Structure 1
Amino acid sequence: MDQAAITMIENLHKNTGKSLDQWVEIVKKEKFEKHGEILKFLKTNHGFTHGFANLVAHKTLQSDAGSAKDTDDLISKQYKGKEHFLPLYEKLSEEIKKFGKDVEFSPKNAYVSVRRKKQFALLIPATKTRYDIGINLKGQEPQGILELDTKSNGMVSHRIVVNHEEQYSKELITWLKKAYDAAG
């Protein structure tokens, strides 16, 4: 488990008086099946921030890299029916790894979180025809292919939509690099 996750788990206990395992049990009693249901429950009924609610939801559903037996299974699950986007993911991953040795990829059920000291990007095979790249660049005005993100509950500030691999571009990598630099 990475240091950021350990710190979040420690802070969850400090902030709420309950351990992660206790929160997982509370959520399991509600019999939620979807990540969004858990987020809403924790935010509405218990005043959680998005980050803590997200942590508990992933641990409850075992949908994060730390809970998965094999992170390759999470990647396979993401691209089932969207296999044509897998080469794009692989190309992006290779390019992002060149940014520095401190890049960490953390697969979830529906996306891959890309972190340095903090998350700077999300790689999301959103639909069969759309690949979203979420980018954290708070305060950056949208321009070119970079647009404001209005869908991910603050997990990222911007997104770039890719409909086919040919839209992979130097501009896309430049925005990812800026987000990486800002996360240091």
Structure 2
Amino acid sequence: MDPAAQTMIDNLEKNTGKSLGEWIEIVQKEQFQKHGEILKFLKENHGFTHGFANLVAHKSLKSDAGSAEDVNELVKNQYKGKEHFWPIYLQIEKELKSFGSDVEFAPKNAYVSVKRKKQFAMLIPATKTRYEIGINLKGQASEGILEAETKSNAMCSHKVVINHEEQLSPEVFDWLKKAYLAAG
């Protein structure tokens, strides 16, 4: 297990008095099927922050890289019915790996989190027509293709929307590089 995940798990018990296993049992008794249902339950009923709720939700649903039997299957499944976005993922992955040996890919069921010391990007085949690149650049104004993320529980401060492979411009990779450097 990566050290950051272990720290979160340790802090969960310190902050709540219950272990990850106990929280998973509580969530499973509710018979939730969706990630968002678990987040809402833990935040509203138990005062969880988004980070801790997200951890428990992923572990309960076994939808994170640390719980999956085959991490590559998590990524492949994201592109079922969206195969035309696969070359975009591969191109972005290759570019991100060139930033440094400390780039880590952490697949979930619906997206791939990209981390350095902390998450700096998310790669999301959102719909059949929209690919989103979440970028963490808190304090950065929207500019060019960089849009402010407006979701209330956004895990990234900004996003770039791609509809076609030709839209992977140097500007996209410049924003990703800035986020990578800021995450160090």
Question: TM above 0.5, one fold?
Answer: yes
SS in 2 for 1:75: helix
Does residue 30 in structure 1 map to residue 30 in structure 2?
yes
Counterpart AA for 1:165: E
What is the distance in 1 between the residues matched to 2:123 and 2:152? 12
Rounded Cα–Cα distance in structure 2 between residues aligned with 1:76 and 1:103: 20
For residues 127-146 of structure 1, the aligned pairs below 5 Å read 127-146=127-146
Aligned position for 2:48 = 48
1:161 corresponds in structure 2 to 161
- What is the CA–CA distance in structure 2 between the aligned matches of 1:178 and 1:131, rounded to whole Å? 20
Match of 2:58 in 1: 58
- Per the alignment, residue 2 of structure 2 pairs with 2
Report the Cα offset of residue 162 of structure 1: 0.2
Match of 2:83 in 1: 83
- Secondary structure, counterpart of 1:88 in structure 2: helix
How far apart are 1:150 and its partner, in Å?
A: 1.2
2:145 partner letter: I
**TM-score under structure 2 normalisation?**
0.99
- In structure 1, what is the Cα distance between the partners aligned to 2:62 and 2:152? 20
| Same amino acid, percent of matched pairs | 73
> CA offset at residue 154 of structure 1?
2.9
1:67-82 residue pairs with structure 2 within 5 A?
67-82=67-82
Q: Matched residues in 2 for 1:73 and 1:29: separation?
A: 27
| CA distance in structure 1 between the partners assigned to 2:24 and 2:158 by the alignment | 31
Q: CA RMSD in A?
A: 0.7
- Paired AA for residue 46 in structure 1: H
Deviation string 1:92-113 (CA, Å, 9 cap, x unpaired) is 0000001111100000000000
- TM-fit CA distance, 1:74: 0.4
The total of aligned residue pairs comes to 184
Cα drift, residue 152 of structure 1: 6.6
Q: Once the two structures are superposed, what CA deviation does each residue of 1:76-122 show, in whole Å capped at 9, x if it has no partner? A: 11000000000100000000001111100000000000000000000
SS at the partner of 2:18? Answer: coil
* Secondary structure, aligned partner of 1:10: helix
Q: By how many angstroms is 1:10 displaced?
A: 0.4
Unpaired runs of at least 5, structure 2? none
The residue type paired with residue 113 of structure 1 is S
Unaligned runs of 5+ in 1: none
CA distance in structure 2 between the partners assigned to 1:172 and 1:182 by the alignment:
16
Supply the distance in 1 between the matched residues of 2:124 and 2:138 (Cα, whole angstroms): 19
Deviation >3 Å, runs of 4+: none
Q: Give the match for residue 16 of structure 1.
A: 16
Name the CA distance, whole Å, in 1 between partners of 2:70 and 2:169: 31
SS of equivalent to 1:43? helix
